[in-house]
Structure formats: structure tokens, C-alpha cells
Amino acid sequence: MKKSLWIALALIIGILPGFFLVFNFMFSDIISLNERILSFLIVIAAYLILGAAFGLAGSDIGWKWGIWISLPAVIIALAYSFSEAGTLAMNLAYSASALGSSAISAYLTSKLLRKRKQ
């Protein structure tokens, strides 16, 4: 499959956790600190799994998969920040969690795949 199709697939698949996890957790009324921490852990776990899957699918792109996978979540978080200005720090934290975990996971799995091919 061509690289551009994989990138389009990563963007499309990234919409699902971006909307159903990141946006849902930003929009919901989570009251306790434990619930907020759990929501961050769920977002990180979802993007770790997606990053690993795409890192294994195409080791030539590496950590850049994380950008493509998490881009919908970052766009959603920034758009929501304009409507709810008081939540900018939390929205940035969700964006950083999605971007960081998917990029690290994609990088590590693509590196592992390259080592196995050698």
C-alpha cells in the first residue's frame, strides 16, 4: 500500500479515539482527580496501541505515525479550547498525551521491526 494511503488511513482511524475518547473526556464533567487520571491513562493506552500498530505496519515513517494518528485529537482539542477558554491547559495536556504516546510507541515498534529485519 502506498505511503499516502497509509497516512490517510492513520488520519481516519485517528478520528475515532480523537472524538470518542479525547473529546468525550474533555467535554464530560469529571469531578474527582482519580477519574481525570484514569481518563488520561485511557487516552495514553489507546494511542500507544494505535502507534504500535502503525509502527509495525510501516517502519519507514517511524515516529511520524504519531503525528498522523493524533492530529485529529489535537485539532478537536484546539477547536474545543476556543469554545471553552478555561479548559485550555487540560486540552493541551490531552493533546500532548495523545501525540506523545502515539509517537513514542510508533517509533519504538518501527525500530524493533527494523532490527528484526536485519
Q: Which three cell numbers mark 34?
A: 482519580
Cα–Cα distance, 73 to 14 (Å, whole number): 7
- Residue spans of alpha helices (H) in 1-118: 3-17, 24-27, 33-57, 64-83, 88-117
pLDDT of res. 1 = 65
pTM above 0.75, yes or no: yes
Per-residue pLDDT tens listing for the chain (118 residues): 688 898 899 999 999 999 999 999 998 887 799 999 999 999 999 999 999 999 988 777 888 999 999 999 999 999 998 888 788 899 999 999 999 999 999 999 998 888 877 7
Length of the chain: 118
Residue 105 has a pLDDT of 96
